[in-house]
Amino acid sequence: MKMNYWKTICLMLLALIALTVASIPCQAKTIRVALLLSGPANDGGWNAVAVQGLKDAEKSYGIETAYSEHVSVADSEAAFTEYAAQGFDLVIGHGFQYGDPAVRVGNKFPKIKFVAIEGNASSENAASYRIACEEAGYLMGIIAASISKTGVIGMVGGVEQPSIVKVVEAYKRGAKSYRSDIKVLESYIGTFTDVAKGKEAAMAMADQGADVLSHIANQAGTGVIKAAEGRGLLATGDSWDQSGIAPKTVVCSTIYNVPTLVVNVVKQVNENTFKGGIYDQGMMEGVVDIAPYHAFEDRIPQNAKDKVAELKKQLIDGSFTAPLIEKRTTE
């Protein structure tokens, strides 16, 4: 009888312990996300929008974040490896140049997720999200051509790579679609961070008669805007609304809603639905847009504004496709 009594007591205690343990809330693992940037986080453009995405994801999912600035192509593999070795769950490279390194490092760390924004490479645990920047570039070309009085406009690109070339080429064709006789000057400065080079290239275009200066050059692009401001010319911005840099100079800007993209990727990792692959994101997906015209609302010809509005609608519903040309042309 005594044996059965103590056996019953032990079973009851075990059951009580099990119930107590079960009642303790399970703490979900905090997701750790790292970001590689080609330039400074506060560039007011391409890199800044990615950092904003990191902040938005942190607010939405309580993730732990980190980022590295000025990560060159040569250092990108080491940067991916360092974060993966530290146990980060997701490492994002913000730029076309990070695609192949992400895949190579991903092969060594199969449990870690890797992303290249604007990349063109993928594997089972690495994804590339291609932003249809050419859509906004095409519309920006129309706007620039419509406000030019000299019939000459200029576009400054950073590094000559597919993600940059496609915007320059779309810009040229958008401008020509509005004004067939427009002359479009173009220059690739080979850097995303050298503001002086951006300014120098823009000044050279101004000397050739360009009265509207545009860029797709990240931080270096602020040099283009400052050159336009200094010469009393007009400019367009890139990546987010850059009117704040020079309100009386920047007519409009391309908008890339990278924060939305980053939050969506973090959501996939959080819900364990992340899959490697190459995914296109444009106006239809709410990732590409253009900024308001601000003080220039009444200075842009109405037919140009109407054309831009109609094309934007068609880009969203899929009835129009912006030209995608990733190799430089002389057209």
CA–CA distance, 209 with 154 (Å, rounded to integer):
9
| Range 133-256+301-317: architecture per CATH | 3-Layer(aba) Sandwich (3.40)
The residues of the chain that CATH labels 3.40.50.2300 are 32-131+258-281, 133-256+301-317
List, in order, residues 6 or more apart from 18 with CB less than 8 Å away: none
**pLDDT of res. 43:** 86
**pLDDT of res. 6:** 54
pLDDT mean over 224-236: 98
pLDDT class of 9 with cuts at 50, 70, 90: low
CA–CA distance, 157 with 187 (Å, rounded to integer):
6
pLDDT mean over 299-312: 97
**Residue carrying the six token digits 């823009």:** 202
Both tokens of 217, joined, read: 């050059």
Both tokens of 284, joined, read: 């239809």
Give the residue among 96, 88, 50, 89 at the shortest CA–CA distance from 69: 50
CA–CA distance, 40 with 151 (Å, rounded to integer):
35
**pLDDT of res. 75:** 96
**Residue carrying the six token digits 């401001």:** 229
pLDDT mean over 50-71: 95
pLDDT at 98 over 70: yes
| 3-class state of residue 115 by DSSP | strand
pLDDT at 21 over 60: no
Torsions phi, psi of 81, nearest 5? -65, -40
Identity (one letter) of the amino acid at 173? R
Identity (one letter) of the amino acid at 235? A
Rounded mean pLDDT of the chain? 92
pLDDT mean over 289-306: 96
Q: Which CATH entry fits the domain spanning 32-131+258-281: 3.40.50.2300, 3.40.50.2000, 3.90.650.10, 3.40.50.20?
A: 3.40.50.2300
Percent of the chain with pLDDT over 90: 88
What does the pLDDT look like over 182-198, one tens digit per residue? 999 999 999 999 999 99
**pLDDT of res. 224:** 98
**pLDDT of res. 12:** 55
CA–CA distance, 222 with 17 (Å, rounded to integer):
64
**pLDDT of res. 29:** 78
Q: What is the DSSP letter of 297?
A: T
Give the residue among 210, 211, 229 at the shortest CA–CA distance from 221: 229
What does the pLDDT look like over 234-262, one tens digit per residue? 999 999 899 999 999 999 999 999 999 99
pLDDT at 83 over 50: yes
**pLDDT of res. 331:** 65
What does the pLDDT look like over 150-168, one tens digit per residue? 999 999 999 999 999 999 9
Both tokens of 13, joined, read: 């205690």
Pairing of β 288-290 and β 90-94: unpaired
SS3 sequence of 244-263: CCCCCCEEEEEEECHHHHHH
pLDDT at 215 over 60: yes
pLDDT at 15 over 80: no
Q: Are 133 and 214 in contact (CB under 8 A)?
A: no
**pLDDT of res. 157:** 97
Identity (one letter) of the amino acid at 179? R
Indicate the burial class of 260 (C-beta count within 10 angstroms; 0-12, 13-18, 19 or more). middle
